[in-house]
Amino acid sequence: MKIIITYASAGTGHRRAAEAIYNYFKENCPAYDLKIIDALEKTNFLFKNIYSKGYLFLVNHALWLWGFSFWLTSVKASRPITNILISAIDRLNAKNLSDFLIQERPDFIISTHFFPPEIATHLKRIKKINSKLVTVITDFGVHPLWISGGTDMYIVASNFSKEQLILEGVQENSIKDFGIPIDTKFSKQYEKNTLCKRLDIEPDKFTILITTGSFAIGQVEEIVDSLYKEVQILVVSAHNKILYARLRKRNYPNVRVFGFIDNMQELMAVSDMIITKPGGLTIAESLAMGLLPIFITAIPGQETENAKILAKKSIGINIKDVGSLKDIVLDFRGHPGKLKNMKERINELKRPFAVKELCNVICQGSIRDTC
């Protein structure tokens, strides 16, 4: 069986989900012919850079414009026009991707971004390929751009996401609420004291993990200033070298600063709460590890929708200013029972085995029964 797993490098979450799927299939289905590709690498140079770098520019420098474009493409009145324009632009710039899919003729295409399904749907419509198309939605809210006529199965974050798709006219039997696919390392159990000793972290202190994306955007320094006297803080600065240097120079007590890491699951395992952006993958990973998330610096659109959905489930806390953060953290530190109740609700929503369930449904061939 040939399977192509694809994503688009606009943000890191789509890639992380694709890699989680690829790694699980590679380990558990070694006989399969697997390929993982960044779909933007098979578009022309200008389109690729506008798509990926344009996204980063907007979310870092023009959030209002990103929020407006998200709104414009989701409003029903404008969809007939925006859908035609987006589809035409995508197909015009994705000839190499189309040629690749026609040449490979995979049995399955699994996509963690909405751009590749647009191309695959067109190729299926004109009978150039006959692949089963699986669209993996990597947010808790469902933007209409995720919906494509050629998708045979949707993998969604929760039952709420499933209900959104049904309201958009998608057949219920083509939707599986397995959760957002995350790496299996986030579904494992860890011995806290052993990790704390290796990471040089105090195991008995109330611990807050701060991670706000690959460039650590937002008021991270202000958050550290407000909390370091009260709790132990782990800060992941990722690619933000300036933030890393500034925090290290201050040499705060109770604060550990990490750069780009590949052991996020270990930092989550030793933490009591996480302060983060409400990206779909980060939420899924946090919930799988039983961490209560506090959301800051949400990107208008998909991230604000994610935060709203979790707030409706009484999971996660949205804050608009750092000033209110200290009281919230100290309240949970001082009332362990309150934190325990929140974590029990987290256990009801978390879906740590999405990759396993996706693999099972393809391996058993049951996807064919639903299409």
Maximum Cα interatomic distance, the chain, rounded to a whole number of Å = 64
Sheet of strand 207-211: strand arrangement: 255-258, 232-236, 207-211, 273-276, 292-295, 317-318
Q: At 94, list the tokens.
A: 């994705």
Sign of CA dihedral 88, 92, 96, 99: positive
Q: How does DSSP assign 115-131, residue by residue?
A: HHHHHHHHHHHTTS---
CA–CA distance, 162 with 105 (Å, rounded to integer):
29
Burial of 174 (0-12, 13-18, 19+ CB in 10 A): middle
Enumerate domains of the chain plus CATH numbers: 2-181+353-370 (3.40.50.2000), 184-349 (3.40.50.2000)
Cα 16 to the center of its chain, rounded Å: 7
Average pLDDT over residues 108-136: 97
Q: At 22, list the tokens.
A: 């690829």
Residue 148: half-sphere exposure toward Cβ, Cα within 13 Å: 29
Cβ contacts of residue 301 below 8 Å, gap of 6+?
66, 67, 69, 70, 71, 143
Where helices occur in 38-191 by DSSP H, the ranges are 45-61, 63-72, 79-93, 95-104, 115-125, 159-167
- pLDDT band for position 63 (50/70/90)? confident
pLDDT in tens, 208-238: 999 987 766 778 999 999 999 999 999 999 8
Q: At 338, list the tokens.
A: 């309150």
Q: At 329, list the tokens.
A: 């953290």
Amino acid letter, 357 = E
- pLDDT band for position 366 (50/70/90)? low
What single-letter DSSP state applies at residue 8? -
pLDDT in tens, 4-57: 999 999 878 999 999 999 999 999 989 999 999 999 999 999 999 888 888 878
302 contacts 143 by C-beta, under 8 angstroms: yes
Report which of 361, 120, 329, 94 is spatially closest to residue 207, judged by C-alpha positions: 329
Q: CA–CA distance from 320 to each of 218, 296, 310, 329 (Å)?
A: 11, 7, 16, 15
Position 215 scores a pLDDT of 64
User: pLDDT higher for 217 or 64?
Assistant: 64
